[in-house]
Structure 1
């Protein structure tokens, strides 16, 4: 049995990039409404407590919380499926029926049609995707509505619509009905990373675009370039830049689009020469990794191999030995040999879990300051126990239900993503 993150590290303010992380998530997620990564069109569930208002009982359960989760799972049986992202706490992910990255979990949600309820231990955009892809008879629950994604919030629907209109004017097409040229190609196709709201997935669906994950980003860009001269890639600039660079796109053909500036901070000539327009967004965890950290790892551990997530800045990816999705990182370490030393540039919960799984190897996080994904961290066992107990009692809390018109258009882009198998 693998050790929990708290068995191996004790989060203290001096060790953590957020001094609030050592507290129970209910202490700092009490803002009303949905957390980061929610679509503007999401209806608020009829029955829910506000984020942060976890019943007091579930804040004080200690070890009893696990007995409650196990009992509820047994009672619900095949009516329930729990999905857990790689970045989840060990205390939660141990109850997941499927553990994986966003691409794997999107597929996993389709394999349990008999389950009445999908409990997604991840963040808001993931639960939205599960709701879109699941059947009408299934419902999706996010244990804590405050669990979101700050990157997803860096590209909102209004800003992307405005950017699309500006881009259409520069490239000379109707933003509502772009037409292919004599080569059969569109001027530009929108590509959104999975880490975005359902509203933006719907935007891609109605404009001929597609969703990608870090697993299949290269396949998706190939798909897009076969159909258009350019790509508008949002919200993560680093995944877009690293993927396109590996495909041979020159950096000078990857202008950054800053939604706070006219034409995204570019000249018309910049945009006309561009091949991949990168949105000014990023992951706060992966942006922490640096070339200096890699150099320090190589100095302290001669022979170390370094693998990082492609959400890291380009100089970090270039300095590493390999880069890949969370699933690719798992496979990289599985293919290593006993005695190997591997430094990993991704979220700490996953790194610690891999270190526990392969005790005959030295596996450590590049960042010396412990930095969990703070919103993923909000899925606490207390929240999971609460929503499962409520299901046993016949009540549904924290259901994620994407509006039907948004879901229909988003599913078009998601189906294209699912068909774009990773290399």
Structure 2
């Protein structure tokens, strides 16, 4: 079933909109207790607190998918994240396990910036330009179809934690890398590995053109023109303001931020790295964090011994992540309790076959 097909299905029943928070919490607790080990409920770090409070595990997208795959006892996995994360969980789990996304509107704008038709069209044109010298790599923040495309052509997935290792591996396989769908993570990673900006081009999937001035023979990395709508909103001006007002404050950002923001920060790294850095920081230290607001607020609450702010105080939480709320979670649980597979995420077998190859090539180097 495609995302468009899923969105045509009825949404949250009206009755859930009239329940109090206390009623919903009580019911969620009761269903979790009744289903026991038959249920597994992972939640991404960016989820709302009203959802995270019931999570069996919290983590990043790949980590949660792997934990779901190891949980052989769970018959139903209610994945509190976004569509591509639930797809990855379905690919990695057993056939008899059911993966549910509480709200099918929970997507990812970055993942949507690279669809399979655009990618196949780009690949055909890039092959004409560069012949068989390109290896495709995709951020795990991509659709199952894009993961399958990458797997089919010998490439692998990457995470923000292992992007450097995977891009480095990619250069042992081919002369050039096509990095999907986040240009910022690709650029920041390649630059850190020593690839100059002058050797990076950008593929625009809207105009089907390669953005580059110079000799194409010099190109080492082709960056897909996609981005995270949240992390791209952190700016150099945000950093300048923090430096002026708090000269002793550390700036730490996610590598989905722009090149300029990452270069001007004190630290950059994955969600896991950001969390661990703050955990290990000295009491009294000061931090401006450039990542999703739900997570930043949670970190602030967990570390009252430190001064922590959002790098951009006017940021909103990730809108698509926030689609999943307590009413949708309760709906998913009540449906699962009576054996209904409402909002099931199921990746077609052909797509899963190649996608698992891309994932396994990465996991073999973890």
Q: What range describes the TM-score normalised by the shorter chain of this pair? A: over 0.9
CA distance in 1, matches of 2:175, 2:72: 39
Q: Hey, what does 1:58 align to over in structure 2?
A: 16
C-alpha displacement at 1:172, in angstroms? Answer: 2.7
Contact 1:102 1:213 in 2 (8 A): no
1:236 correspondence with 2:178: no
Q: Structure 1 CA distance, aligned partners of 2:311 and 2:19?
A: 34
**Partner in structure 1 of residue 191 of structure 2:** 245
Task: Give the Å deviation of 1:416.
Answer: 1.5
TM-score (norm 2): 0.96
In structure 1, the residue matched to 2:66 is 107
Cα deviations across residues 277-323 of structure 1 (Å, max 9, x unaligned)? 00100111101101111121122223100100000001100110000
Contact 2:182 2:224 in 1 (8 A): yes
8 A Cα contact 1:255 1:270, kept in partner: no
Query: Quick one: which of 233, 238, 241 aligns to 1:288?
Result: 233
**CA apart distance, 1:49:** 7.3
Question: Cα deviation per residue 1:202-237 (whole Å; 9 max; x = unaligned)?
Answer: 001110011111111111101111111110001100
What SS does the aligned partner of 1:110 have?
helix
Asked if 1:202 corresponds to 2:148, the answer is yes
Structure 1 residue 270: Cα displacement? 4.2
DSSP 3-state at the match of 1:226? helix
Query: Which of the numbers 202, 206, 211 marks the counterpart of 1:256?
Result: 202
Aligned 8 A contact 1:107 1:418 in 2 = no
Aligned mates of 1:172, 1:391 — CA distance in 2: 49
1:3-44 Cα shifts (integer Å, max 9, x gaps) = xxxxxxxxxxxxxxxxxxxxxxxxxxxxxx737xxxxxxxx5
Q: Secondary structure at the match of 1:306?
A: strand
**Aligned CA distance change for structure 1 residues 381 and 271 (closer, same or farther; 3 Å):** farther
In the other structure, the counterpart of 2:296 is 351
Is 1:305 equivalent to 2:274 in the alignment?
Answer: no
1:128 aligns with 2:87: yes
Structure 1: 5+ residue stretches without partners: 1-32, 36-43, 174-186
- C-alpha distance in structure 2 between counterparts of 1:83 and 1:262, whole Å: 38
SS in 2 for 1:121: coil
The correspondence for 1:274, drawn from 219, 229, 234, is: 219
1:63-142 map, 5 Å: 63=21, 64-142=23-101
Paired residue total: 364
Could you tell me which residue of structure 2 aligns to residue 211 of structure 1?
Answer: 157
CA contact (8 A) 1:166 1:263 kept: no
Task: Determine the C-alpha separation between the residues in 2 that align with 1:254 and 1:168.
Answer: 17
CA distance 1:396–1:49, shift in 2 (3 Å): farther
Q: Distance in 1 between matches of 2:194 and 2:180?
A: 19
Q: Which runs of 5+ in 2 are unaligned?
A: none
What are the superposed Cα offsets for residues 332-378 of structure 1, whole Å, 9 maximum, x if unpaired?
Answer: 10110111110000000000101111111111111121311000000
Whether the 8 Å contact between 2:65 and 2:86 is mirrored in structure 1 is: no
Partner of 1:16: none
CA distance in 2, matches of 1:103, 1:362: 30
4+ residue segments displaced more than 6 Å: none
In terms of mean alpha carbon deviation, does 343-352 or 293-302 score higher?
293-302
- The partner residue of 1:314 within 259, 281, 290 is 259
* Whole-Å separation in 1 of the counterparts to 2:75 and 2:140: 24
SS at match of 1:150: coil
